[in-house]
A = this chain, B = another copy of it.
Amino acid sequence: MHWPGKVLVREVGLRDGLQNEKTVLPTEKKIALIRELTGAGISAIEATSFVHPRAVPQLADAEAVLAGIGAPGPGVTISALVGNVKGMQRALEMLHTPLREIVVVVSASEAHNRANLNRSVAESLAELVEICRLAEGRLRVRGAVATAFGCPYQGAIGIYAVARVIEGMVAAGIREITLADTAGMGNPRQVYDLAGEVGERYSGVDWALHLHDTRGLGLANALAGVLAGVTILECSLGGLGGCPFIPGATGNVATGDLVHMLHKMGVETGMDLRRVLQCTASLERLLGRNLPARIR
């Protein structure tokens, strides 16, 4: 059994969590949260998204957030999601800020990609090439394969649909890829098998997991992932995300719950759990409600 000594934890709540919130957080509160998170020892934050402000008004202040962070300290990587070439052009205007990395999402599911990005998978992969060309020498590009473990529209997703997106990403020069369980449909065996298979087939790529906790399997899936060799886990403060109007609906696996599990297993994250929980409490105060996290 392979137990890793260290895992990189990436906070995505400010992007993937907030984009589903009715409340639009003030820019200065987002900046304060990012600073609180770096103070807790986190080394990777997906801070915002360059998508159309009409589509995601909660993140319309992407430029202001990045400009306001200030130097995040050594070893901290600030990234942002880029939706298309237009978003990439916005990101390229941010080189004076701590932004050093962008992430481009393509769905393994044709139906989900069309719903999410209004493009076919082939069109998205072609645009990815253009985005990577624009980024060259200026911003590191990560990839994320949405619905890698199942799609709410199409159902099961075969390995070939996932591999097609991965091939496109690797061909475009990407060397870090997130397998995203966008709808929380994956199970530990599936996570172990897929992460193990792609890890073997595409050497030289770092693998991340993005696990929605919709069916309570987030931590078990994270465990299966690290056992299969995944070295990067994404999570969201308090489990922010999902629909605030469905009781018990959650977004990503909660950062504090994940860090607690990893530390208990002797896996280093570089984070201070007590301070992570303070960040969760800050976010709960800002939103005026309790988040679904279990560790408090």
Measuring CB to CB, which residues of chain A are less than 8 angstroms from any residue of chain B? 1, 3, 187-190, 192, 215-217, 219-220, 222-224, 227, 248, 257, 260-261, 264-266, 294-295
* Given A1-B192, A261-B187, A217:B219 Cβ within 8 A: yes
9 A-B pairs with least C-beta separation: A216-B294, A187-B264, A189-B265, A220-B220, A219-B220, A220-B223, A187-B265, A188-B223, A216-B257
Other contacts beyond A190-B264, A215-B294: 12, CB < 8 A: A187-B261, A189-B264, A189-B266, A215-B257, A215-B260, A215-B295, A216-B295, A217-B219, A217-B261, A219-B219, A220-B220, A223-B223
Minimum CB–CB distance for A180 against chain B, Å:
18
Determine if B265 and A188 form an interchain contact, defined as CB atoms under 8 angstroms apart: yes
- Cα-based distance from A224 to B264 in the complex (angstroms): 14
Q: Using CB atoms, name the residue of chain B closest to A290.
A: B247
Q: List 6 A-B contacts (CB under 8 A).
A: A187-B261, A187-B265, A189-B266, A215-B260, A219-B219, A223-B223
- Cα-based distance from A216 to B254 in the complex (angstroms): 10
- Cα-based distance from A224 to B265 in the complex (angstroms): 12
Determine if B189 and A3 form an interchain contact, defined as CB atoms under 8 angstroms apart: yes
| Residues on B with beta carbons closer than 8 Å to the beta carbon of A1 | 192, 227
